[in-house]
């Protein structure tokens, strides 16, 4: 594998929307499935732009846009089966969508009404963490638990479980991520690491995190590392399916680098014009993950002409609903926080809560 | 020469001065180069001093502090930025087990003049891990010195003073005060580094505070004055060591003390002050030392942070309770 930035990428659908062959990977689905991917990507992008708009209007404190990364997220997210456990970072809007999470659960976090209370939802979607890289170790521990439970490598792919863990290119510099790779490899845990290399960690380019393509690091940890065109939803699906199947079959962890691009700002609080050139964005627009699927479906003629307009209307509906329910979110009560500190309450906190309620209610009477 | 600067711009000017006056000073941290840091505290410094002295680090806090320790051993004076309070913990091991101990371990043979800058505290409507007050963890570690500025003049001078010191420092920056403007006197001698400062004189009760709460306590003193109470406000400036002489002198005179900080009230700086005051001022005091801080719950979702953070009402309430003794 040579070291140019985009060398060795698995690709099954070109930016022009042409299907291409790859010696090791192929897309197993039909055009209906591809149309479903497009639906996911279009809706997720629409939710994302609504999130950004809500932040601009002062309704969210922050929003971490994933526009540009839809294919990496939908392809990999759809490759996870119902029984798999998905561990996101903080930018996985489209993954959350395909796991069936209500997007308002995400906006609640960015509006400051909730810290991630969707845990336990039946989409097996772990809460966000804002600490870059921490979640990789939790994901491995969960996978170790799957092994300990004998819930994988039974030979039944319909029930065998695995973990799919997300993080960014910047996160690969963190000790926690490196330790996660060590643990997973030592214990041959059923986990797939999905690194979305969106080229930037806030203002710092990937080259400051790694001098070689990030996927090549996997070799040193003793697991396969695959680079996939992260703007190609078919390839992202095919590669992640392969890695998850392997993990479920007891063949150990794998590392996928989805080579993609974050088209917007890092979050709504930064200004990308300070650190990157517009020409870069323009060149990536030509590789837009959504446009290539649209082009393919148009050419294949497998969807009705009205499909695209209907989809746009459907995405607008989802966004309108997302907006109105986000705006209707009730603020939390600080007094509930006291009950949430421990599983088994302590006297001290119970007393402090009582004192707080007493104090707060003294104002209401005034 | 005096000029009016925001606290953030004063820090920038202080860092610039330090880089100019000592070629061994090096800045490092995530996004501090082109972007100038997420709060723009290092804005323009890389353009002037180059990429070797203002370093964009990989995204690895343990790496940032650990390599700073090595650079310091090699004769440099690294000043590293941790992007937000809640992200210092990946580096906590390096800070607590190494940075704090090297001088002692080597019987003074090695000095590690590392400054760890941390924007801290809440009130900016942020998501989790962006609003915390971790000062007590560091103050509890011997070998570290922990300071925080509350106004532009202190920001300008204190950052230069900690960089010039041969000891490792945790330098806490009150992020919600970054935009507050104040007079910076770039010529007269500054206060010595570990002195507390009487930010407002008063005779009836002493408010002990630091960092973001100094402004709040000054507002409290204004409000109390309208009710005929004269509150003294002491800005600690240094949390480790604490300038007990200034604190004791004040409390000796006023005979009452309320400690105010954003950090959770239990096991914090307030507890330390209360213990020391009960040892040193027991017979001078008319009331026990009271503490106003964050509640003992994790920093809450930002929509309710105003209720979590000490505000005028809660501090005035504590003042009333002190007078009720
Ligand atoms: C431990 C830690 N350090 C710093 C930060 C601040 N921060 C938030 S996101 C980010 C960049 C992350 O880049 P990358 O891992 O590439 O993921 P991306 O945001 O590009 O998806 C930084 C530095 C953080 N959240 N956690």
Note the pLDDT tens digit of each residue in A31-45. Answer: 999 999 999 999 999
Q: Is B304 left (phi over 0), alpha (psi -120 to 50) or beta?
A: alpha
Rounded distance between C-alpha atoms, residue A230 and residue A265, angstroms = 18
Rounded distance between C-alpha atoms, residue A75 and residue A52, angstroms = 23
- What is the average per-residue pLDDT within A292-318? 97
Given a contact cutoff of 8 angstroms between Cβ atoms, the answer to whether B307 and B299 are in contact is: no
Which tens digit of pLDDT belongs to each residue from A163-176? 999 999 999 999 99
Examine the residue annotation and report whether B140 is marked as an active-site residue of this protein: no
pTM: 0.95
Rounded distance between C-alpha atoms, residue A56 and residue A51, angstroms = 9
Nearest to B9 by CA among B130, B135, B177: B177
Strand boundaries in chain A, DSSP class E: 85-87, 163-168, 191-197, 200-201, 204-205, 225-229, 254-259
- Give chain B's end-to-end CA distance (angstroms, integer): 47
3-state class (DSSP) for residue A65: coil
CA B32 → CA B41, B66, B81, B167, B168, distances in Å? 8, 18, 8, 23, 20
Ligand 1 nearest atom to the CA of residue A66, by list position: 21
Neighbours of A3 (CB within 10 A): 10
Which tens digit of pLDDT belongs to each residue from A63-74? 999 999 999 999
Given a contact cutoff of 8 angstroms between Cβ atoms, the answer to whether B123 and B212 are in contact is: yes
Q: Which of residues 61-90 of B touch A (CB under 8 A)?
A: 61-63, 86-87, 89-90
Rounded distance between C-alpha atoms, residue A239 and residue A246, angstroms = 11
- Spacing of C-alpha A70 from chain mean position: 9
Rounded distance between C-alpha atoms, residue A209 and residue A131, angstroms = 17
Mean pLDDT estimate for chain A? 95
- Spacing of C-alpha A69 from chain mean position: 9
Given a contact cutoff of 8 angstroms between Cβ atoms, the answer to whether B183 and B3 are in contact is: yes
Rounded distance between C-alpha atoms, residue A236 and residue A27, angstroms = 9
What is the pLDDT, as a whole number, of residue A2? Answer: 52
Exposed/middle/buried for residue B165 (C-beta within 10 Å: 0-12, 13-18, 19+): middle
CA A24 → CA A15, A37, A192, A238, distances in Å? 20, 22, 18, 10
What is the pLDDT, as a whole number, of residue A1? Answer: 45
Contact call for A337 and B56, based on CB within 8 A: no
Rounded distance between C-alpha atoms, residue B279 and residue A284, angstroms = 66
For residue A123, is pLDDT > 90? Answer: no
Rounded distance between C-alpha atoms, residue A236 and residue A70, angstroms = 10
Which tens digit of pLDDT belongs to each residue from B247-304? 999 999 999 999 999 999 999 999 999 999 999 999 999 999 999 999 999 999 999 9
What is the pLDDT, as a whole number, of residue B1? Answer: 76
In chain B, % of residues over pLDDT 90 = 99
Contact call for A208 and B296, based on CB within 8 A: no
Neighbours of A205 (CB within 10 A): 17
Catalytic residue among B103, B104, B129, B130: B130
For residue A47, is pLDDT > 50? Answer: yes
State the Cα angle at B133 between A125 and B7, rounded to 5°.
115
- What is the sign, positive or negative, of the torsion defined by CA atoms of A170, A171, A174, A178? negative
B306 interface with A at CB cutoff 8 Å: no
Measure in Å the smallest separation between the Cα of B190 and chain A Cα atoms.
Answer: 35
CA A244 → CA A93, A96, A140, A213, B243, distances in Å? 21, 18, 14, 22, 59
Measure in Å the smallest separation between the Cα of B316 and chain A Cα atoms.
Answer: 12
Nearest to A143 by CA among A180, A101, A100: A180
Rounded distance between C-alpha atoms, residue A105 and residue A117, angstroms = 8
Task: Indicate the pLDDT class of residue A230, thresholds 50, 70 and 90.
Answer: very high
What is the pLDDT, as a whole number, of residue A365? Answer: 61
CA A171 to ligand 1 centroid distance, Å: 7
Rounded distance between C-alpha atoms, residue B306 and residue B294, angstroms = 10
Could you tell me how many residues make up chain A?
Answer: 366
Ligand 1 nearest atom to the CA of residue A202, by list position: 11
For residue B245, is pLDDT > 80? Answer: yes
For residue A223, is pLDDT > 60? Answer: yes
Secondary structure, 3-state, chain B = CEEEEEHHHHHHHHHHHHHHHCCCEEEEECCCCCCCCCCCCCCCHHHHHCCCCEEECCCCHHHHHHHHHHHHHCCCEEEEECCCHHHCHHHHHHHHHHHCCHHHHCCCCCCCCCEEEEEECCCCCCCCCCCCCCHHHHHCCCCCEEEECCCHHHHHHHHHHHHHCCCCEEEEEEHHHCCCEEEEECCCCCCCCCCCEEEECCCCEEEEECCHHHHHHHHHHHHHHHCCCCEEEEECCEEECCCHHHHHHHHHHHCCEEEEEEEECCCCHHHHHHHHHHHHCHHHCCCCCEEEEECCCCCCCHHHHHHHCCCHHHHHHHHHHHHCC
In angstroms and rounded to an integer, the radius of gyration of the C-alpha atoms of chain B is: 19
Collect all residues with Cβ–Cβ distance below 8 Å to A137 and sequence separation of at least 6: A176, A179, A180, A183
Q: Smallest Cβ distance to A334: which of B59, B90, B304? A: B304
Q: Smallest Cβ distance to B129: which of A113, A130, A176? A: A130
Which tens digit of pLDDT belongs to each residue from A208-222? 999 999 999 999 999
Q: Smallest Cβ distance to B307: which of A208, A334, A340? A: A334
Rounded distance between C-alpha atoms, residue A64 and residue A41, angstroms = 16
- Give chain A's end-to-end CA distance (angstroms, integer): 73
DSSP annotation of A60 reads S
Rounded distance between C-alpha atoms, residue B283 and residue B309, angstroms = 32
Given a contact cutoff of 8 angstroms between Cβ atoms, the answer to whether A144 and A177 are in contact is: no
Residue in the structure block whose two tokens are 């090096």: B26
Task: Indicate the pLDDT class of residue A268, thresholds 50, 70 and 90.
Answer: confident
Which tens digit of pLDDT belongs to each residue from B149-188? 999 999 999 999 999 999 999 999 999 999 999 999 999 9
Given a contact cutoff of 8 angstroms between Cβ atoms, the answer to whether B15 and B42 are in contact is: yes
B58 interface with A at CB cutoff 8 Å: yes
CA A314 → CA A43, A129, A305, A308, distances in Å? 8, 30, 15, 10
Chain A residues in contact with B35 (beta carbon < 8 A) = 202-203, 270, 274-275
Token pair for B161: 């003073």
């Amino acid at each position: 594998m040579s070291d140019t930035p985009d060398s060795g990428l698995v690709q099954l659908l070109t930016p022009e929307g042409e299907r291409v062959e790859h010696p090791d990977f192929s897309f197993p689905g039909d055009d209906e499935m591809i149309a479903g991917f497009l639906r996911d990507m279009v809706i997720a992008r629409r939710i994302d732009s609504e999130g950004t708009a809500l932040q601009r209007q002062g309704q969210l404190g922050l929003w971490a846009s994933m526009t540009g990364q839809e294919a990496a997220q939908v392809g990999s997210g759809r490759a996870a089966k119902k029984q798999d456990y998905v561990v996101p970072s903080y930018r996985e809007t489209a993954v959350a969508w395909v796991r069936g999470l209500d997007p308002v659960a995400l906006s609640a976090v960015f509006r400051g009404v909730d810290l991630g209370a969707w845990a336990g939802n039946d989409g097996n979607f772990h809460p966000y963490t804002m600490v870059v890289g921490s979640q990789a170790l939790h994901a491995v521990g969960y996978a170790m638990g799957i092994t300990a439970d004998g819930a994988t490598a039974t030979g039944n792919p319909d029930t065998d479980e695995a973990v799919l863990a997300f993080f960014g290119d910047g996160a690969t510099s963190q000790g926690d991520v490196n330790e996660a790779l060590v643990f997973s490899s030592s214990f041959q845990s059923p986990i797939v690491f999905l690194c979305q290399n969106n080229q930037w960690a806030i203002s710092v380019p990937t080259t400051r995190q790694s001098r070689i393509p990030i996927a090549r690091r996997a070799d040193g940890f003793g697991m396969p590392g695959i680079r996939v065109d992260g703007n190609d939803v078919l390839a992202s699906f095919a590669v992640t399916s392969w890695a998850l199947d392997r993990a479920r079959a007891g063949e150990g962890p794998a590392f996928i680098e989805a080579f993609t691009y974050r088209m917007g700002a890092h979050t709504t609080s930064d200004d990308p014009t300070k650190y990157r050139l517009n020409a870069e964005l323009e060149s990536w627009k030509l590789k837009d993950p959504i446009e290539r699927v649209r082009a393919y479906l148009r050419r294949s003629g497998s969807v009705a002409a009205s499909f695209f307009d209907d989809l746009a209307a459907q995405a607008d509906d989802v966004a309108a609903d997302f907006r109105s329910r986000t705006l209707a979110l009730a603020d939390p009560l600080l007094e509930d926080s006291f009950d949430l500190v421990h599983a088994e309450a302590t006297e001290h906190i119970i007393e402090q809560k009582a004192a707080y309620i007493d104090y707060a209610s003294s104002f209401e009477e005034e | 020469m005096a000029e009016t600067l925001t606290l953030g711009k004063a820090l920038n000017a202080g860092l610039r001065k330090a880089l100019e006056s000592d070629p061994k000073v090096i800045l490092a941290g995530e996004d501090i180069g082109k972007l100038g840091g997420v709060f723009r505290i290092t804005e323009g410094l890389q353009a002037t001093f180059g990429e070797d002295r203002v370093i964009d680090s990989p995204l690895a806090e343990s790496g940032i502090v650990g390599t700073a320790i090595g650079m310091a051993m090699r004769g440099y004076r690294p000043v590293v930025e941790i992007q937000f309070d809640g992200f210092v913990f990946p580096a906590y091991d390096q800070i607590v087990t190494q940075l704090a101990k090297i001088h002692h371990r080597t019987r003074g043979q090695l000095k590690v003049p590392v400054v760890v800058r941390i924007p801290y505290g809440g009130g900016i409507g942020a998501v989790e891990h962006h609003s915390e007050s971790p000062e007590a963890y560091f103050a509890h570690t011997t070998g570290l010195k922990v300071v925080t500025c509350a106004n532009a003049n202190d920001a300008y001078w204190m950052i230069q003073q900690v960089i010039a010191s041969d000891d490792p420092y945790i330098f806490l920056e009150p992020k919600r005060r970054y935009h507050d403007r104040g007079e910076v006197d770039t010529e007269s001698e500054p206060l010595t580094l570990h002195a507390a400062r009487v930010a407002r004189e008063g005779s009836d009760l002493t408010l002990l505070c630091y960092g973001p709460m100094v402004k709040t306590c000054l507002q409290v003193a204004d409000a109390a004055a309208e009710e005929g109470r004269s509150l003294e406000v002491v800005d600690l400036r240094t949390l480790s060591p604490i300038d007990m002489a200034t604190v004791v002198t004040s409390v000796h005179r006023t005979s009452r003390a309320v400690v105010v900080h954003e950090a959770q009230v239990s096991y914090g700086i307030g507890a330390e002050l209360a213990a020391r005051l009960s040892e040193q001022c027991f017979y001078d005091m008319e009331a026990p030392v009271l503490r106003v801080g964050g509640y003992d719950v994790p920093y809450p979702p930002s929509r309710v942070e105003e209720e979590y953070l000490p505000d005028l009402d809660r501090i005035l309430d504590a003042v009333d309770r002190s007078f009720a003794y």
